[in-house]
Structures are given as C-alpha cells and as structure tokens.
C-alpha cells in the first residue's frame, strides 16, 4: 500500500497510543513516507518545564524509530484545542493522513461522538484513521462503504478514493474485503411503492431498482483487479447506516473505510447523518475520506502553537 507520503501520528499517553505508533511506523516504512509524531496539550499555557519534558520524551520516541530504519522522524508538541491544532498542523505541513486512537473503554458510542476523533473526521482535510485500542493487526476483515448514486462527480470520485484505499489495505493486510452499497427506491416509484399495489407489482418494482443499483455497482467494481484479495459484495436495501452496522456486526469487521457526506464547498462542513450514526454504533477502527471540493473550516494560524 503506497498511498501516503506524509503521515501525522497522534502519540500521547492515551490508551492505544502504542498501536498508533506501530501502525504509523509500519505504514511509513511500507510507503517510504515521512512520519511526524504529535503530542497534544490542551492547556495553552503549560509551564515551560512541562512542555520541555514532553518535547524531549517525544524526541526520544522519534529517535528510536529512526534507529529502527525509518528516515528522519519529526516530532511536535501542539498546545491548544486538540482537533484544531492537529488540523492546523495538517494544513501547515501538508500531511496526507492522520492516525490517532479512539480513547478509552466503550470506543465510539460514548467516546467518539463529539470528541477529538469526530471533530477530526468532520474538519481535517486529509483522511483520518482512528484505531480501536488493542485491536489485533493485521486486520482480518475490512469493509468499504460506497454509494452508487452517480448523479454528482464528487460522489463518484469519493467512491474511487474509498475503494482504492480499501483494496490496497486488504492486499497489504491479507484481509477479506467486504463491499457494501445500500440502495432504496427513488423517483416517482416511491409514491407507487407506498400506495396500495399488488404484491407482484411491488416485487417487480423492487427488482427493477435493485437491478439498476446492481448494474451500477458491477460497472464500478469492474475497474478493480482484486487478485488474491478475497472479497464479498453486499447489495442491501435500506438506510445506509443500518445496513453498514448490520454487516459490521454480522461479519465481525475490523476496519470500515467510508466517506463523509458528499456536500462540498461548505465552510463548517459536517458529516452526514449516515456517517455519524455509523460512528455512534460500531466498535471497530474507522478510516474516513473527504470528498473532492471539501472546504476545511479551520483556518491556518499565522504561527502554530508548536513547541
């Protein structure tokens, strides 16, 4: 998997930090990428001695990685609101991936929603990979969530980003790859479906729309050569958030690769309801990708608070 060249790993004293370090180092070696470690201190005015000690600690970790064969590893202590300072670091240094850990016990339901991880997924311009603490690597099963509504170019391009990453990761980890597209009846047929019609008419209408989505998904996937990657396709009728969670639970998925909402050009961009509902429900690692045209609502500070 040679897709990332400038990785930012959030390494602090939280649960799962060592997993972040291991995965980031492995990716950097595999990609020949530059690696930067960042520690975050929420207090903007820590005593200089504390900041100095945290800086030295992080530098020692970076030096240890260099001794293990990585090229120069940078390190920064960022001071301020975590998601803002991480995003500003991305903007300032052109990182193409952020890796961090979900914090603490119950992972997404009570920890992700509204915290640093969710804010990064909403606002950080590059892909954000949140690792479930203590999750075994390599991943056994990876899920790519795509949307075959090709009415807009950004949505189609987002699907490509998701699949490119998922296929590369599955090949790298020797994982089973699952691909899901959730569909529903659209257009005037919705009114017909909701009216009193015969069962055979209903089944014909549903079969018609399923065939449309199936053909679109088959055409999209034809561009990929899966090689030795074992894969399974899930074409499911219903709300995306429900169907994704169902596959995650029934197939014991380790990592979801998914996009944020495909609205673009909006300052203050938020993930769509489907994405946030998934994040509330699942207990696995998540890699989120932004659509083309995403406008980062965080402005690059004139001087980053980097010790």
Beta carbons within 8 Å of 306's beta carbon, 6+ residues apart: 76, 77, 78, 79, 89
pLDDT of residue 273: 58
Which domains, from first to last, does the chain contain? 6-289 (3.40.50.12370)
pLDDT of residue 186: 80
**Strand pairing partners for 183?**
237
User: What interhelical angle do 153-173 and 199-221 show, nearest 10?
Assistant: 70
pLDDT of residue 151: 61
pLDDT of residue 89: 96
| DSSP type of residue 94 | T
pLDDT of residue 64: 95
Identify which of 94, 59, 61, 60 has the alpha carbon closest to the alpha carbon of residue 76: 59
| DSSP type of residue 183 | E
Each residue's pLDDT expressed in tens, for the chain with a length of 307 residues? 568 999 999 998 777 788 899 999 999 998 999 999 999 887 767 788 888 999 999 999 999 999 999 988 999 999 988 999 999 999 999 999 999 987 644 444 444 433 788 888 888 999 999 988 778 888 999 999 998 875 666 678 889 999 999 999 999 889 999 999 999 888 888 888 778 888 888 899 899 999 999 999 999 999 999 989 999 999 999 988 899 999 999 999 999 999 876 444 433 333 555 666 787 788 899 999 988 888 888 887 644 444 4
User: What interhelical angle do 82-93 and 116-123 show, nearest 10?
Assistant: 40
What helix, strand, coil percent values describe the chain, rounded to 5? 40, 20, 40
Cα-flanking dihedrals φ and ψ of residue 209, to 5°? -70, -35
Angle at 242 between CA 295 and CA 256, to 5 degrees: 55
268: left (phi over 0), alpha (psi -120 to 50) or beta: left
CA distance 135 to 268: 32
CB atoms within 10 A of CB 164: 17
């Amino acid at each position: 998997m040679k897709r990332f060249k400038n990785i930012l790993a959030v390494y602090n004293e939280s649960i799962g930090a060592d997993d972040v370090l291991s995965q980031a180092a492995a990716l950097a070696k595999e990609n020949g990428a530059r690696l930067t470690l960042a520690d975050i201190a929420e207090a903007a005015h820590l005593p200089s001695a504390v900041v100095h000690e945290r800086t030295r600690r992080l530098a020692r970790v970076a030096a240890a990685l260099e001794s293990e064969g990585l090229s120069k590893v940078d390190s920064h202590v960022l001071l301020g609101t975590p998601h803002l300072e991480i995003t500003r670091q991305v903007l300032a240094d052109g990182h193409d991936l952020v890796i961090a850990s979900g914090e603490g016990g119950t992972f997404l339901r009570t920890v992700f929603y509204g915290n640093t991880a969710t804010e990064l997924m909403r606002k950080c311009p590059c892909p954000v990979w949140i690792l479930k603490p203590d999750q075994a690597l390599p991943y056994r099963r990876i899920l790519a969530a795509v949307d075959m509504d090709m009415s807009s170019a950004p949505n189609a391009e987002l699907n490509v980003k998701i699949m490119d990453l998922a296929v590369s990761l599955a090949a790298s980890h020797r994982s089973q790859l699952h691909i899901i597209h959730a569909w529903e009846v659209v257009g005037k047929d919705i009114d017909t479906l909701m009216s009193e019609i015969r069962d055979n008419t209903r089944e014909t209408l549903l079969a018609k729309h399923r065939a449309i989505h199936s053909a679109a998904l088959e055409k999209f996937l034809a561009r990929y050569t899966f090689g030795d990657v074992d894969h399974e396709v899930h074409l499911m009728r219903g709300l995306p958030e429900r169907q994704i969670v169902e596959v995650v639970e029934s197939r014991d998925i380790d990592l979801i690769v998914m996009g944020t909402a495909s609205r673009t050009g909006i300052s203050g961009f938020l993930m769509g309801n489907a994405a946030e509902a998934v994040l509330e429900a699942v207990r696995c690692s998540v890699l989120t990708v932004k659509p083309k045209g995403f406008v980062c609502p965080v402005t690059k500070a004139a001087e980053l608070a980097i010790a």
